Structure 1
């Protein structure tokens, strides 16, 4: 399995604007999935980004999303996640097991609507990690 770490930025309603800006700076392909794409009909958040990224041929990659409205968020509290994206469920699960020692699990490692395997935890040092197996999405 190969893995890569990617900075995952967290916003409250401005993720699309941020990703579009980063694309103008670094180039690459912009991909976004909105809450509406995931079935959310709330007009206040339907166009917010549930997952997005800019990925450039030179290796630049950044991910972002708009924090769910029902979750607490302040820019200084959870401004980013470290995203570990893999291709092998067993190896990813092994990494999860090790990282979860002393951690607070925020989302158990399990299948989700947007990924074959997804989990989120805050380790004992206060760093929030997202581990997942990427699903293929068409660029928007």
Structure 2
């Protein structure tokens, strides 16, 4: 299995603008999936916010971003970045999850999600927020 780590930036309503800006700087391709696209709208005012987005460029640049929903606490100084670990092997990701989860606070248990075969989020014992998922193509 191969895995990658990617900086995952968190915003409150500005993720699309940030992704577009990073695209203008680094080039590459932008993908932005809204809460509406994913069928996960909990606040109608946030339906067009980015639930998952990324910019990937041929030069190796890769950044992910999303808009933290209003129901979730967010402070740019406290919850500004996730470390995203993405792979294609559920057994290996499950193993990595088990290791990271020791002494961690589970934010979202590792399980199948609407947008990925496997997805989970935790804050490790050092306060670092990790998102692990099995990559799935977006067929929007």
Query: TM-score range with shorter-chain normalisation?
Result: over 0.9
Do 1:31 and 1:138's aligned partners in 2 also have CA atoms closer than 8 Å? no
The corresponding residue for 1:81 is 82
Do 1:8 and 1:63's aligned partners in 2 also have CA atoms closer than 8 Å? yes
Distance 2:121 2:42 in 1: 25
Do 1:15 and 1:49's aligned partners in 2 also have CA atoms closer than 8 Å? yes
How far is 1:83 from its partner?
0.2
**TM-score relative to the length of structure 2:** 0.95
Determine if the alignment matches structure 1 residue 132 to structure 2 residue 101: no
Which structure 2 segments of 5+ residues have no match? Answer: none
Write out aligned runs for 1:51-70 (5 A): 51-70=52-71
Q: Go from structure 1 to structure 2 and tell me whether the alpha carbon gap of 1:42 and 1:107 turns closer, same or farther (over 3 Å shift).
A: closer
The corresponding residue for 1:2 is 2
Distance 1:42 1:7 in 2: 26
Distance 1:23 1:93 in 2: 32
**TM-score relative to the length of structure 1:** 0.95
Please list every run of at least 4 consecutive aligned residues from structure 1 whose deviation after the TM superposition is greater than 3 angstroms: none
Distance 1:87 1:41 in 2: 29
